[in-house]
Every structure is written in C-alpha cells, then in structure tokens.
Amino acid sequence: MFSKSAKFYNAIYGSMGKDYDAESQQVHKVIQQHKKSKGNTLLEVACGTGLHASVLQKYYQVEGLDLDAEMLAVARQNYPDAIFHQADMAEFDLGKGFDAITCLFSSIGYVKTTARLNQAVQTMNYHLLPGGVLIMEPWFTPEQWKPGRVSALFVDQPELKISRMNISEVEDNLSFFTFHYTVGTPQGIEYFTERHELGLFTHEEYLEAFHKAKLEVIHDTEGLDGRGLYIGLKT
C-alpha cells in the first residue's frame, strides 16, 4: 500500500488541503450525537500515520490499528505516547471493547471483496461496546468510479519536491491504480511506484454488512468530504 511513500504521506495530503482537524471535529460531533455508552475509548482502524488520532485524542483515549508497518512507524515516531497495533482490519482481536470505532478516508476499500467487507464490519462490531458507535467512510461505488481519469498532485517545499501521478482503472468490481512518484530532496531524486487496489461496493452492500453485524445503520450522504458516512449503532 503506502509502504514506499509513508514518510512523505503527511506532506502529500497536506498539499491537497486535507483538513484532518476539521474532519476529526466533525467525527467527534457525530460520536457525541449518537454514543450511548459511558466511556470515552476510541479505536481508529486503518489509522495510517495517525493524523486523525492526534486530534481525536483531545477527547478520547485513542488507539490506532493499521496493517502497514511503515505507516505505523511514522505514527509511532510522531505520537510516541499513543498505542498503535499492527493488524488486518478484517481479522484483528485486541481482547477489549471500545466506545467508538472509526474507519476513515475510504480505507475500507482495501478489503477488496464483499466477504471481507462483511468480515471487517463484524470484527469492528465485536470490538464495539454496547451503546457504542462505528463510523465508516466508504470508497467510491461502482457507479461513481471513473476509469481513465488522469490525476496528479505536487508537493513544493524548500527541501522536498514530489510529483505523484496515476490513471484510474477498473476490473469487475475492483478499482486499481499505480501511483508514480518522483521525489526530490537534498540527498537526490528518486522514482518509485505503488499499486493500490480497492473494492467498489454498492450502497446496498455497505448497508447489508452493517445489518449482518446486527448494527443499526444511519447513512449520511455528505459525510466529511462528499463520500458519505455510515454510522453504526450498537444496542
């Protein structure tokens, strides 16, 4: 996934204007609106470099979980007092429950298949305390994904220059693309690629995953940045 680019991840998405603080504040508002449990523990699934967690820890006892060791290395370096777990979002077992669980920035798409989507929601539900809230930001649906679209972004800092380009592709219900990076630092210029594959799930498939986990589900069509949110409530 982002193993090769992990050390540049924050700079890349900062250049795109992604506002982790504003998104985290919105997530906090949703949690407070729906949470019925009494505690304030939160697990961020697919936490990446920990940018959402760094804001949410103002309000919760936050732990993070991600499969990518390089991303977690950045998170642990930036937030040495936080607890981070390395595990697959569909198969983890931390041996405890949480009042809120988040899975943001469309990371759920990396499960790729509906079977693993169902398994991931079941696993998160297993770790959710009664009265707790699960917040999931979806990836694109099959209808929303546009193959053949060329995308590019650029980082322009005094000692860091990055270009990243890709073309969106699709095969059946799997979206994929190869990021092409050129990175310049005072130590030199390097080029590398990363291939990303994410499942294209329908709205009905997301709802079904929550229903199979016996969670009441609310769909916010707008969400944090237009991709929507699925809010699961555990009785």
pLDDT digits over 28-72, tens only?
Answer: 999 999 999 999 999 999 999 999 999 999 999 999 999 999 999
Question: Taking residues 73-79, what's their average pLDDT?
Answer: 96
Asked whether the predicted pLDDT for residue 109 surpasses 90, the reply is: yes
Q: Which tokens hold the place of 36?
A: 């019925």
Class of CATH domain 150-199: mainly beta
Homologous superfamily of 6-141+201-233? Vaccinia Virus protein VP39 (3.40.50.150)
Q: Which percentage of the chain shows pLDDT scores above 90? A: 98
What is the C-alpha to C-alpha distance for residues 85 and 50, in angstroms, rounded to an integer?
A: 12
Asked whether the predicted pLDDT for residue 158 surpasses 90, the reply is: yes
pLDDT of residue 138: 98
Asked whether the predicted pLDDT for residue 2 surpasses 90, the reply is: no
Phi-psi region of 25 (alpha: psi -120 to 50; beta: other; left: phi over 0): alpha
Asked whether the predicted pLDDT for residue 1 surpasses 80, the reply is: no
Domain boundaries, the chain: 6-141+201-233, 150-199
The reported pTM is 0.97
Query: In whole numbers, what is the pLDDT of the chain averaged over residues?
Result: 97
Q: Which tokens hold the place of 150?
A: 């060329």
Asked whether the predicted pLDDT for residue 3 surpasses 90, the reply is: no
CB-facing half-sphere around the CA of 92: CA atoms within 13 A: 24
6 touches 24 (CB < 8 A): no
195 touches 178 (CB < 8 A): yes
Confirm whether 6-141+201-233 and 150-199 share one CATH topology.
no
Q: What is the pLDDT of residues 190-229, one digit of tens each?
A: 999 999 999 999 999 999 999 999 999 999 999 999 999 9
